[in-house]
Amino acid sequence: MSTYLTSVLKQFQYYKSLGDKTIVQLSFNELSKEFTQDLNSIAIMVKHLHGNMLSRWTNFLTEDGEKTWRQRDEEFVDNFTSKKELEATWNEGWSTLFNAIEQLSSEDLEKIIYIRNHGHTVTEAINRQLMHYAYHVGQIVFLGKLLKGDKWQSLSIPKGKSKDYNADKFSKNKTRRHFTEDL
């Protein structure tokens, strides 16, 4: 697998892990909480990401990324009945993505694929989805922090701990590795 594909796979895994670590901290009621009418709950964002991932990554190289069977408007209706169902939906979307990327080779990166009849190189399409998912995972984490308040378990360097974190990092020899390998 090319350096780019290895790196992007690790980035997607990292964003999934941020969502995983948020979801595990929240109850089903917290995951379903809508703060206002137009602010999606975490459950709705999970459903949207799932729909997008299934549509974009199923038959990634051979079919338009916006499948005719996708019901995008339905993704914004929360009909989960349990946290277990929400987690299964979350994991199915990510599995579809990971399976598609793991099958790619560096020769595929300049191929043209389509999303709503708009041509993208495979690299452009991957980057588009990486940014889209990072955007929504950031929203999920932010809402998780709001919901948990002072009970939130930090997913990165906790406030006031930067010096300790950096001291640990700089105490080690320089090596080439992806930043997620230390998480």
Domain boundaries, the chain: 3-155
Assess whether pLDDT exceeds 90 at residue 75: yes
User: pLDDT class for 126, splitting at 50, 70, 90?
Assistant: very high
β partners of residue 112: 121
Burial 110-119, CB ≥16 within 10 A → b, else e: eeebebeeee
Neighbours of 29 (CB within 10 A): 9
Place of tokens 């043209």: 112
Q: Where are the beta strands (DSSP E) in the chain?
A: 112-115, 118-121
What's the rounded mean pLDDT across residues 103-129? 97
Angle at 178 between CA 151 and CA 13, to 5 degrees: 55
What's the rounded mean pLDDT across residues 70-85? 97
Rounded Cα gap, residues 173 and 176, in angstroms: 10
What's the rounded mean pLDDT across residues 38-62? 97
Which of 66-80, 81-95, 100-114, 157-171 has the least mean pLDDT? 157-171
Question: What pTM did the predictor assign?
Answer: 0.93
Q: In sequence order, which residues have a C-beta less than 8 Å from that of residue 129 and are 6 or more positions away?
A: 52, 56, 57, 97
Neighbours of 142 (CB within 10 A): 12
What tens digit of pLDDT does each residue of 130-145 get? Answer: 999 999 999 999 999 9
The pLDDT score that the predictor gives to residue 1 is: 57
Q: Where are the beta strands (DSSP E) in 28-142?
A: 112-115, 118-121
Contact 53, 120 (CB under 8 A): no
What's the rounded mean pLDDT across residues 155-169? 89
The pLDDT score that the predictor gives to residue 183 is: 67
Percent of the chain past pLDDT 70, that is, above it, reads: 98
Pick the CATH number of 3-155 from 1.20.120.450, 3.40.50.20, 2.70.98.60, 3.40.50.720: 1.20.120.450
